[in-house]
Structure 1
Amino acid sequence: MQRHDDSKPLTNLLQAAHASTPPAADGGRRRFVRQITLGAAALGTLPLAACGGGDDDAPAVQFAHGVASGDPLADRVMLWTRVTPPADFSAEIPVQWEVASDAAFASIVARGEVRTSAARDYTVKVDATGLKPATVYHYRFKAFEATSPTGRTRTLPTGSVAQVKLAVFSCANYPAGYFNVYADAARRGDLDATVHLGDYLYEYGQGGYASGNAAALSRLSQPANEILSLADYRTRHAQYRTDADLQALHAAAPMIAVWDDHEIANDTWMNGAENHQAAEGSFAARKAVALQAYHEWMPTRNAQPDVIYRSFAFGNLLALHMLDTRVVGRDAQVDYAAFFKPGGFDAAGFTAAVGNPARQLLGTAQTQWLQQQMAASSATWQMLGQQVLMGRMNIPAPILMETLQPGSGVTVSRYAAIVAKARTAPATLTPEEQAILAQPSIPYNLDAWDGYQAARETVLGMARAMNKNLVVLAGDTHNAWASELNDMNGNPVGVEFATSSVSSPGFEEYLPNENPATLSAALLQLVEPLKYCDTARRGYMVVTATATECRAQWVYVNTITSRQFTTSAETTLAVQAGTPGRLLKV
C-alpha cells in the first residue's frame, strides 16, 4: 500500500469525537474512536507515521513475541509478527509493515498494511515482494502506537554463487532448559539462513518429558495440560515465542522450517501418533488444529495447510529440498514388540516388515515431486532438509535387546569389550561370548528411514541415477551424527549430517551408565557407515557449501541450565563434489 498524507480529515473527526463525547460515556467514546480508526485504516487513509499519532484511546497493543522472517526467495521473503491486544479487545487490528535497505529505515523499499484478528490469533504474515537477490534487508511492524523490534533478513542469491552458510537446528524443548543454542547462533552474523528440522516445540504437559528442571528454571509448560485443542497449540507456540533467545534467532536471519512429530504428537504418522489415544478425540482434528497453529506462528509460505515440502534455490550452488517425513505420506511405524515371540525374536518376520516395498515414508506425490525437483536442478549440491536419520544405524542385536528389555542382552561397553577380545585373543572367547557375537545387527530406530528401507532406496536410487551430489540433513534423535550413505548394493550415493538438539536430552539420559566417550567410540566401531557421533551434548550445525565441498561443523554449548554458557566447535567433516558418499575430516 502506498503511503498517504491525507490524514487531516481523520484527525478532525477524532478531535470532534473527543470534544462531543461527555466523560460519562467513556466506554461508548472508546468504541466509537476505535471504529473510526479501524475504518479509516481499511480505506487506506491512515499513514504509517500516524500509528504513533498520540491518540490516548488507541488500544494498548504490544509486539511481545518479536518478529521473524522465513521462506526467502530471490525476490521476496515472508515477514511475521504477532500483535498482543488488551485482554478485553476483540476487533480487527490494522498493522503496517516496512522493509528498508538500512537499519535506520532511511531508505524504505517496500511497505504496506494488513489486518489481523482473533481468527488468526492476531498473528501477521506478509509476503514482501519486489526485493533484490542476495540482499540484506531490515523490517518492522507498527500497530496503533506500538512499533515492533526490528528484524534482519536476506533474499536468496541467483546465478553464480561462491558460498552458502546455513545453521541447522532441531528439537527445542522449553521445559528442558534454556535455548543457549539459539542465542549463540543469533550472534554469528555470517548466516545466509537458518534451517529448523522440526520439534520446534513439544506437546507434553507439565511434569512430562524432560521437565525435571522446569520449575527451577521458571520454564513450566503452558498450558499445563498436554496440548490438544487449537487454543492449546496457540498458547504453547506463544510461550515459546516469548523466549528472548528464540526471538533473537528469528530476528537475525530468515528461517526455513519443517515440522517433525512433536508439533503434533510424538511419533506422528499419517493417521495417528504414539502419543494420541482414542480418549483424546479425533487425531485428524488434532492434526488439523496443530498445523493451523504452526502456520499461524511460523514464517512459512503455505498454500495447503498439510503440505510443507518445498524447494529453495541458492543460485547455481545449492538446491535445498525441504521434506515432510511425518504427515502427508508416512505409514505407521513397525513395532519391535510385535516380533518378540515365545521362542525368541522373530528376525525373519522383522526383516520382511521393515523391507516391505509398499511401506511409504514420503508418499507417492512427494516422492514424485522430489524427483522432479532434483531432475530440474543443475545446482552443484542437492540437499535434503528433513527430520529423521537416513543413514543405516544397525546395532548388534544383543545391545538393542538390552535397551528394549534390560537383562536380555548386553551393554554397549560389554559388547565392545567382547569385540576387542575377539580381535586380540579369539581363542579365549567363551561359548556365551561367541553366541553374542554370532547374533546379527538390526536397526535401532524404526521411526527413522531404517524402518522404511524401500523408501530410502527409492530416494538414493534417484540421486545416483541423476549423478547428483547428495547431502542429507537430519535431526530428531537429540544426538549428533555423520554417516556415509550407500545404497543396498553398497554403491556410494551421498552423506548425512545430523544435528544434536537445542535442549532435548540425548543418549546420556537413556543410557546413564554408559560413559559418553566410550559409547561414541563403540558406536563408531560397530556401525560401519557412521563416521562421527556425539551422544551427550546440546548444539547445532553450521553447514557450508562451496563449489568444491560441503562441510558440517558441530557447535556445542556446555550447559542449558544456566544463562552463562560457553561454546565449542570441535569437529568438521566434509564431502568433496564429485565423490559422493565419502566423508573426510577437515
Structure 2
Amino acid sequence: MTPIEIDRRSLLVAGAAGAGTLTLGLGDPEPAEAATAGNRYFRHGVASGDPHPTSVILWTRLTPTPDATPGSGRGPRVAVRWQVARDRRFTDVVATGAFTTSARRDHTVKLEATGLRPRTTYYYRFLYRGLASPVGRTRTAPAATASPDHLRFGVVSCANLQAGYFAAYRHLARRDDLDAVIHLGDYFYEYAPGEYGAGNDNQDVRRHVPAHEIVTLADYRQRHAQYKRDHDLQALHATAPFIVTWDDHETTNDAYRAGAENHQPATEGDWFERKARARRAYDEWMPVRMGDTVDLGDGTALYRRLRFGTLAELSMLDLRTYRSKQAQILADGTVSDPERTITGHAQMRWLKQSLTQNRTQWKLVGNPVMISPVVFPPFPQDVTSAVNDVTGLLPEDGAPYNVDQWDGYTADRREVFRHLADHGVKDTVFLTGDIHSAWACDLPLDAGTYPTESGRSVATEFVCTSVTSNNLDDITGSPRRTTSLGVEAAIQTSNRHIKYLNFDDHGFSVLDVSSRRTQMDYYVVADRTDPRSPASWTASWATRANSQQVHPVDHPVGGR
C-alpha cells in the first residue's frame, strides 16, 4: 500500500457565514464571531442533497431555545431565512427565502432551492435572529443535454459511531473535486451502548445517545442529531451534496417488509409503527426526497433517479421496504423462489426501465446490498436444473453465504441480469455498500460457466468498505492482511468473477466517470479509533466502456 497525499481543503468555513449582528441579505459578516454565535442556533451543521440541473435540497436544524433539543417536542414555531450565492462571502446572492419550522418537525429545515444554473458551484447558509449558520458548498447537476467530460463522486457506507471516528469523512471533506457524495446506507446505527461496537468484544469508542436501542420517534431524532453533531460528518455535508439511500440500520438490523431480525414485537411494539417513526425522522433529518417534493410525508418512495447530462444516470434503490423475509442460510432452495422479492414488483419494473431507456451512456445503480453472486460452489445452471428435477433443493446460483443480499433473492437477480442481456444494455455499474469490505466484480449471466459466452458478464459492481463498522480482522482479532487472505482466496477461487476483495480495511472510495471508463479508487484509514488517522490509497479498479468487465488500474484519479 503506497501512501499518497489526499487533496486538502477545509470546506466548513463558518467564518464566511456572517456576523453576530448581520442584517439579512446585506453586508459581509465578521468570521470568528459568526462561527461561535451562529452555532448556538445551528448546532447540527448544514447539508445539501439530490442535485438537479436547476435545483438542490438545502437542510439544517435550528435550536431556537435551549430546551428545543432534538426529540424533546419543545420549542417555538419560528422562521429561518436562507440564501444561495455564487461566492463564499455572499456578495452575489442568487436565491433567498424563508422557511417556518417547529417542534412538529423537530425544528428541521428542508427546502428546495430552485432557479439555479446547471453544473454550477454555489454556497448557502441559514440566518436566524441576525446570526448565520456555517456555510455549505453545493453543486447542481449538468443539464440533461450536456455532455460533461467526467463526473466524480465520493462513495461511503456503514458509519458506526460506537465503532470509531469518522476520519474517512474528514479526508473526503478535504477534497474539492466532488460532484456529490453517494451514501449507500447505514448512515447511523440503532444499537445501545455496549452493542455492536469495535471488535468482537464490542468496545464503545464513542457511546450512542440515547443510551438504549432506538425505538420511539424521539429516539430516532436524537440518534440522527448525535451523528449530525460529528465534526467530520458536518464537514463532509458542507462540502458537497449527498445522494443517499438507507439500508437496515436506519431502522434496525436485517429489516424486511414485515419485520426485522432486531425487532421484538413483545417488547418493542408494532413493527410498522416503528418503521414509520424511523422514516419520519429520516425524512426530517436527511437532505433527500421521500416523495415528489421535499415536503414531509408527501410520499414513502425512496428509490429515485438523478441524471447527470448524457454521461450518467444514477438510480438509487431501496432494498428494505418491499423485500420478502430473508431465507434460511442453509441451502434449501427458497432463495430461488420466484414468489420472493428483494425489490418489490413496482421497483423492479422501475429499475428495468432505468436500465433500458438509453438517456445516458452509464447506468449507475446505488445498491444497498451486494448483487454479485458469492456462492459455494456455483454450478452451471443446466446442472442445477437437472438436480432440481430430482430433488428441488439446490439454489439456482449455488449455496449463498449471505442471504441478506441479492444471493437470498436469486429470482430477482436473474430477472435483472437477463434483462440486461436480452436488451443488449451496456455500461451498467452497481455501486454497493453494506458488507464492510471492498470488492470489484464482473456480474455473470451464469456464475457456473463464467467467463464463457453463456456465463458472460452483463454488468460490473464496485463495493465500498465501511467507514467504521467491523470487518473481518476486527472480528477475528487477527493482524491486518493475515487471516483474511485465506478467506479472500477461497471466495475468489469459487467465484471467478470476483476480481478484487479486501476484508480488512475501513475507509472511503472515489468514483470517477468518463465516456472512456468508470473507475473506483479505494482509500483506507490507518486506524478507525484515531480521530486524526491518516488515509492512503490502496487500489483502483475500472470498467472500460462497452466491456462489462473490471480491470486493475495502477493509480487513482487526480484532482480537477
Do these two structures clear the TM 0.5 threshold for a shared fold by scoring above it? yes
Note if contact 1:61-1:143 (Cα within 8 Å) is conserved in structure 2.
no
In 1, distance between residues paired with 2:520 and 2:377?
Answer: 28
Tell me by how many angstroms 1:60 deviates: 10
CA deviation digits over 1:458-482, x for unaligned, max 9? 1122222332311001110011111
Task: Find the counterpart in structure 1 of residue 409 from structure 2.
Answer: 452
Query: What TM-score comes out, normalization by structure 1 length?
Result: 0.78
Note if contact 1:319-1:377 (Cα within 8 Å) is conserved in structure 2.
no
In 2, distance between residues paired with 1:88 and 1:204?
Answer: 26
Alignment of 1:154 with 2:111, yes or no, is no
Tell me by how many angstroms 1:146 deviates: 2.5
In 1, distance between residues paired with 2:175 and 2:466?
Answer: 18
In 1, distance between residues paired with 2:429 and 2:356?
Answer: 15
Tell me by how many angstroms 1:560 deviates: 1.1
Q: Which has the higher contact order (CA 8 A, sep 6+)?
A: 2
Tell me by how many angstroms 1:457 deviates: 1.1
In 2, distance between residues paired with 1:379 and 1:305?
Answer: 27
Q: Secondary structure at the match of 1:78?
A: strand
**Aligned AA (2:494):** L
Q: Secondary structure at the match of 1:572?
A: strand
In 1, distance between residues paired with 2:511 and 2:76?
Answer: 45
In 1, distance between residues paired with 2:502 and 2:105?
Answer: 41
Note if contact 2:44-2:60 (Cα within 8 Å) is conserved in structure 1.
yes
Q: Secondary structure at the match of 1:200?
A: coil
Distance 1:582 1:66, change over 3 A: closer
Alignment of 1:442 with 2:399, yes or no, is yes
Task: Find the counterpart in structure 2 of residue 493 from structure 1.
Answer: 458
**Aligned AA (1:140):** R
In 1, distance between residues paired with 2:26 and 2:531?
Answer: 38
- Following superposition of structure 1 onto structure 2, how do residues 49-198 of structure 1 map, counting pairs within 5 Å? 62-88=41-67, 90-158=75-143, 159-198=146-185
Number of residue pairs aligned between Structure 1 and Structure 2: 481
In 2, distance between residues paired with 1:128 and 1:554?
Answer: 33
Query: What TM-score comes out, normalization by structure 2 length?
Result: 0.82
In 2, distance between residues paired with 1:178 and 1:147?
Answer: 28
- Following superposition of structure 1 onto structure 2, how do residues 272-351 of structure 1 map, counting pairs within 5 Å? 272-279=259-266, 280-303=268-291, 304-327=298-321, 329-336=322-329, 347=331, 350=332
Q: Secondary structure at the match of 1:252?
A: coil
Note if contact 2:39-2:134 (Cα within 8 Å) is conserved in structure 1.
no
Note if contact 1:272-1:283 (Cα within 8 Å) is conserved in structure 2.
yes
Alignment of 1:379 with 2:356, yes or no, is no
CA deviation digits over 1:242-298, x for unaligned, max 9? 000000000000000000000000000011000001121000000001011011110
Tell me by how many angstroms 1:520 deviates: 2.8
Task: Find the counterpart in structure 2 of residue 359 from structure 1.
Answer: 340
Task: Find the counterpart in structure 2 of residue 570 from structure 1.
Answer: 538
In 2, distance between residues paired with 1:84 and 1:485?
Answer: 48
**Aligned AA (1:331):** S
In 1, distance between residues paired with 2:431 and 2:118?
Answer: 25
Task: Find the counterpart in structure 2 of residue 408 from structure 1.
Answer: none
CA deviation digits over 1:320-377, x for unaligned, max 9? 00001111x20000022xx5xxxxxxx5xx1x21111121111111111122233323
Distance 1:373 1:216, change over 3 A: closer
CA deviation digits over 1:193-250, x for unaligned, max 9? 1000000000001111125799874x21000010000000000000000000000000
- Following superposition of structure 1 onto structure 2, how do residues 170-569 of structure 1 map, counting pairs within 5 Å? 170-210=157-197, 217=205, 219-279=206-266, 280-303=268-291, 304-327=298-321, 329-336=322-329, 347=331, 350=332, 352-395=333-376, 442-466=399-423, 467-488=425-446, 489-512=454-477, 515-569=483-537
Tell me by how many angstroms 1:441 deviates: 5.9
Q: Secondary structure at the match of 1:462?
A: helix
Note if contact 2:38-2:134 (Cα within 8 Å) is conserved in structure 1.
no
Tell me by how many angstroms 1:305 deviates: 4.3
Q: Secondary structure at the match of 1:468?
A: coil
**Aligned AA (2:245):** V
Distance 1:477 1:214, change over 3 A: closer
Task: Find the counterpart in structure 2 of residue 433 from structure 1.
Answer: none
**Aligned AA (1:133):** P
Distance 1:214 1:236, change over 3 A: farther
Tell me by how many angstroms 1:48 deviates: 4.8
In 2, distance between residues paired with 1:320 and 1:214?
Answer: 36
**Aligned AA (1:227):** I
In 1, distance between residues paired with 2:517 and 2:43?
Answer: 41
In 2, distance between residues paired with 1:139 and 1:47?
Answer: 13
Tell me by how many angstroms 1:552 deviates: 0.8
Task: Find the counterpart in structure 1 of residue 5 from structure 2.
Answer: none
Please identify, of 72-81 and 376-385, the stretch whose mean Cα deviation from structure 2 is larger.
376-385
Tell me by how many angstroms 1:47 deviates: 5.3
**Aligned AA (2:418):** G
Unaligned runs of 5+ in 1: 1-45, 53-57, 340-346, 398-439
Distance 1:92 1:482, change over 3 A: same
In 2, distance between residues paired with 1:181 and 1:84?
Answer: 28
Note if contact 1:97-1:142 (Cα within 8 Å) is conserved in structure 2.
yes
In 2, distance between residues paired with 1:582 and 1:147?
Answer: 47
In 2, distance between residues paired with 1:60 and 1:134?
Answer: 30
Larger radius of gyration: 1
Unaligned runs of 5+ in 2: 1-22, 30-36, 69-74, 292-297, 379-396, 447-453, 555-560
Please identify, of 204-213 and 307-316, the stretch whose mean Cα deviation from structure 2 is larger.
204-213
In 2, distance between residues paired with 1:127 and 1:60?
Answer: 23
The alignment-based identity, stated in percent, is 42
**Aligned AA (2:119):** A
Note if contact 1:485-1:493 (Cα within 8 Å) is conserved in structure 2.
yes
Aligned CA RMSD, in angstroms, stands at 2.4
